[in-house]
Amino acid sequence: MTELAIIGGTGLTRLKGLEIERREVMHTPYGEPSGAITYGNLCGKEVVFLPRHGYGHTIPPHMVNYRANLWCLKNKGISKVISICAVGSIREDIVPGTLIIPDQIIDYTWSRHHTLFEKDLTSVTHIDFTEPYCQEMRAALISAARDADVRVIESGTYGASQGPRLESAAEINRMERDGCHIVGMTGMPETALARELDLCYAVCAVSANWAAGRGTEPITMEMIDRNIATGLEQVRTILEQLIASGC
Classify the C-alpha dihedral 101-169-13-33 as positive or negative.
positive
Burial letters for 14-50: b for 16+ Cβ neighbours within 10 Å, e otherwise? ebeebeeeeeeebebebeebbbebbbbebeebebbbb
Counting DSSP H helices and E strands in the chain, the numbers are: 5, 11
7 near ligand HPA, judged by CB under 6 A = no
d(CA 89, CA 91): 6
88 near ligand HPA, judged by CB under 6 A = yes
Angle at the Cα of 178 (from 174 to 179), degrees rounded to 5? 120
Single out the segment in contact with ligand HPA by CB under 6 A; choices: 64-72, 86-94, 124-132, 231-239: 86-94
161 near ligand HPA, judged by CB under 6 A = yes
Single out the segment in contact with ligand HPA by CB under 6 A; choices: 36-44, 101-109, 183-191, 193-201: 183-191
Asked if 210 contacts 145 with a C-beta cutoff of 8 angstroms, the reply is no
Question: Site for ligand HPA (CB under 6 A): which residue of 87, 100, 175, 203?
Answer: 87
- By C-beta, is 116 or 208 nearer to ligand HPA? 208
Interface with ligand HPA in residues 201-240 (CB under 6 A): 208-209, 211, 224
97 near ligand HPA, judged by CB under 6 A = no
> Using CB atoms, what's the residue nearest to ligand HPA?
88
User: Least distance (Å) from ligand HPA to the CB of residue 96?
Assistant: 9
Report H helices in 148-209: 169-178, 190-196
Single out the segment in contact with ligand HPA by CB under 6 A; choices: 44-52, 103-111, 115-123, 182-190: 182-190
- By C-beta, is 183 or 247 nearer to ligand HPA? 183
Interface with ligand HPA: number of residues (CB under 6 A): 13
- By C-beta, is 65 or 186 nearer to ligand HPA? 186
Provide the residue type at 115 as one letter. Answer: T
Question: Site for ligand HPA (CB under 6 A): which residue of 101, 134, 185, 199?
Answer: 185
Single out the segment in contact with ligand HPA by CB under 6 A; choices: 51-59, 84-92, 121-129, 233-241: 84-92
d(CA 3, CA 223): 35
183 near ligand HPA, judged by CB under 6 A = yes
Q: What are phi and psi of 28, to 5 degrees?
A: -130, 165
H or E segment and range at residue 206: strand 200-210
- By C-beta, is 79 or 104 nearer to ligand HPA? 104
CA distances from 219 to 33, 88, 188, 209, 210 (A): 30, 10, 23, 7, 8
Q: How many CB atoms lie within 10 A of CB 125?
A: 10
Residues making contact with ligand HPA (CB under 6 A): 86-88, 161, 166-167, 183-185, 208-209, 211, 224
